Amino acid sequence: MTKLREEEQRIMDHLGDLGIHVQVNLDSMELPLAGSDAQSFGLALIRCLSQKSAMNRSRLLELAGLDTVNSTRAITICTNKIHQAIVFEKFGVPQPHFKIAFTPAKLFAALQAYGDLCVIKPATSSWGRGIARITGKDCLEGWIAARESVDPGHQSFPVLVQEYVEKGDYDIRVVIVGRTPIVAFRRVSTENWKTNTHLGADIELLTMNDEILAICERLVDVLGEGIYGADLFFDYKHLRYVVCEVNQNPEFAKSWKIHGVDVASHIAHYVRDVLGRENRVNCTTKS
């Protein structure tokens, strides 16, 4: 983990209640990668705030023989919006129509294809940072000029360009633990088209319907079991749910106090189940 926040402390408390020994390892610390150091642990739970750190440290731990939650593959897909779009397209996950722009010039064609209204997303970002709604050619020219002032070599390209989805004043966050969607809630904002909780959106508990459950099942099939925050839109133009993106390290310190589902407890029990499966496999192998 990056630091011991409320989420991580609650997960640790629940793990302790289940009799599971936990060692805290901060981003600034060395990892147990050699010999008996790595073999003395059963599982690594990745809770890094930095997407880069989450990916790098999970990869090292997996190379050392430790299973990680989430898997390096899942973290790699979830921490890159372009990777997500490509993988979801391959496996038929419903999502907004998208294009990948490798140069600023290609942005104009993408904007025109989406009726002079689109959303540009950097490959990697969190909490809504760097995501821009583009409303016409003049707006796009302004975006490019601002980007060139801080990135004259266009090192931030490629970027993801999505159609703008008429989603009303909310999106939907579904928390998935293992294979199970444990809770869903609307994140509502009348002040900001970005409806992130981090940006002040209000939380309203939502009952999951069959379409939402089917999308979550598809996501787990594609990404593998894990701990995810799946962000969905209801597309009012096409009357369907689409996946905006999937977060591989969902935060819940604020939301669970409103919707009442103890996410930390679900995570701890999932970790116990994974450890139990590994112990059964090891016993079978030894026998």
Is this structure's pTM higher than 0.75? Answer: yes
pLDDT in tens, 204-256: 999 999 999 999 999 999 999 999 999 999 999 999 999 999 999 999 999 99
Distance CA 214, CA 207 (A): 14
The DSSP letter of residue 3 is S
Instruction: Provide the total of helices (H) and of strands (E) in the chain, helices listed first.
Output: 10, 11
Contact 10/246 with Cβ under 8 angstroms?
A: no
Question: CATH assignment of 1-69?
Answer: 3.40.50.20
Q: What's the alpha-carbon Rg for the chain, to the nearest Å?
A: 20
The residues facing 228 across adjacent strands are 176
Question: CATH assignment of 167-266?
Answer: 3.30.470.20
Q: What is the pLDDT of residue 280?
A: 63
What stretches in the chain show pLDDT beneath 70? 196-199, 280-287
Question: CATH assignment of 97-163?
Answer: 3.30.1490.20
Q: What is the pLDDT of residue 19?
A: 97
Query: Domain locations in the chain?
Result: 1-69, 97-163, 167-266
Quick one: CA torsion of 29, 31, 32, 34, rounded to 10 degrees?
-120
Helix, strand, or coil (residue 178):
strand
Number of other residues whose CB lies within 10 A of the CB of residue 11? 24
The residues facing 241 across adjacent strands are 234
Q: What is the pLDDT of residue 197?
A: 64
**For the sheet containing 202-206, what is the strand order?**
202-206, 180-188, 170-178, 226-235, 240-247
Q: What is the pLDDT of residue 38?
A: 82
Hey, what are 287's tokens?
A: 């026998």
Alpha carbon distances (Å) from 210 to 173, 182, 213, 217, 232: 15, 14, 5, 10, 14
Helix, strand, or coil (residue 281):
helix
Q: What is the pLDDT of residue 35?
A: 77
Helix (H) or strand (E) run with residue 166 in it: none
